[in-house]
A = this chain, B = another copy of it.
Amino acid sequence: MGRMSQQSSTAPGPDGHGDRQCDRSGQRRATVVDVAQRAGVSTATVSRVMNRNYPVAAATRERVEAAMRELGYVVNAHARALAGTSARTVGIIVSELIDPFYAYIARGVEREATDGDRLCLVCCTQGDPQRELAFIELMHERRADAVVLVGGSVEDRAYKAELARRARELDAGGSKLVLCGRPSLGDGVPTVGVEYDNEGGAFAITDHLITQGHERILYLGGPPGLSTARDRLAGHRRALELRGIARDRELEQPGAFSRAFGYRRMTELLREGLEFTAVFAANDIVAAGAAQALEEAGVRIPLDMSLVGYDDIPVAQDLRPRLTTVRIPLEEMGRQAVRVALNGGDEDDWRAPTTGTLRLGTHIVVRESVAAPRSTLPGSARPRRS
């Protein structure tokens, strides 16, 4: 047997150091070699027992399993990954775990990953594109099978180029960059994607408002530089246009996707006396802020003002009245994201030219926050400035 080929190991150590460690916090973890020795078999057999991918005599197997148990053996996933098998990891990058929009998608990703016997690396960028890039790199270093990028992206040229570079690197290594809820990087870039009908949802809900008789609709929130916000605004405008309602720049009030923005801006607008009968908040969070401002100003929903949101996260049902909004299949998107990445080029190379994009639908959920504008009701004055 060829062990001890050098003068370095195993034995108590000639000079008193070299083999320290048995004293304090950790007596060297057991390895396949230890297990093999104890069970009187080769390391190959131990490996076979663990992976159950090869016939092993029942008796042998038992001996090996006993040895593993007795030694408290735990495989080293890194060694395993190094030796060739996949790291069985999928990475997910969101801007904020606290935000239900991301949390639901993350849940889908985590569940699908777990179902596929993989672990999930999760990172939060806190909205910083630079961190996003850095995290992709980190996950690449970890050799994640897929890296899921969630949510709207900044519309920046240099940033996109950088992203494309990372996507190519990942692809070259057999991993996939998944764009979940954000636009593709272009045909040349090897990514897969899962989108939802963002523009369509916005169109539908604005149309819903118009159908109820609203013409002066305030569009509130959504960072102008974010793809998500851009698409929602686009859908909103299209609905207006289709119905022949002239666009009014004053009624477009983009801003952060935050409750604070919704509250603050709405308060200001109310004070300034801007005229409108309905509000389309770019997402439910903004709507929650707006609702609070409205409440404090004594404006009743939906009597004096209609309000709708986007995303259909839980807060939509906690608001009073319950919020009419656009539902996105958040969790499903997460699941599909990993599915599409793992089947899109791994083995079943079934005509997925590296850039497969899945598109899921959205639909509006009608609750109690919309009514016909007062002004169209016979005999009532419009709730204008005063």
Report the stretch among A24-32, A54-62, A273-281 that lies at the interface: A24-32
**Interface residue A382 (Cβ < 8 Å from any Cβ of B):** no
Q: Which residues from chain B contact A114 at a C-beta distance below 8 Å? A: 123-124
**Measured CA separation A122–B102 after assembly (Å):** 14
A72–B172 touching, CB < 8 Å: yes
**Interface residue A196 (Cβ < 8 Å from any Cβ of B):** no
**A77, A139, A314, A320: residue with the most chain B Cβ atoms closer than 10 Å:** A77
Closest Cβ of chain B to A269, distance in Å, is: 21
**Which of B78, B111, B119, B139 is close to A138, meaning CB atoms less than 8 Å apart?**
B119
A173–B79 touching, CB < 8 Å: no
**Interface residue A237 (Cβ < 8 Å from any Cβ of B):** no
**Interface residue A154 (Cβ < 8 Å from any Cβ of B):** no
Report the stretch among A140-148, A209-217, A246-254 that lies at the interface: A140-148
A345–B121 touching, CB < 8 Å: no
**Interface residue A103 (Cβ < 8 Å from any Cβ of B):** yes
A143–B76 touching, CB < 8 Å: yes
Q: Which residues from chain B contact A168 at a C-beta distance below 8 Å? A: 72
Q: Which residues from chain B contact A242 at a C-beta distance below 8 Å? A: none
**Which of B80, B169, B315 is close to A318, meaning CB atoms less than 8 Å apart?**
B315
**Interface residue A302 (Cβ < 8 Å from any Cβ of B):** no
Using CB atoms and an 8 Å cutoff, list the residues of chain A in contact with chain B. Answer: 25-27, 29, 72, 74-82, 87, 96-98, 100, 103-104, 106-107, 110-111, 114, 119-124, 137-143, 168-169, 171-174, 288, 295, 314-315, 318-320, 345, 354
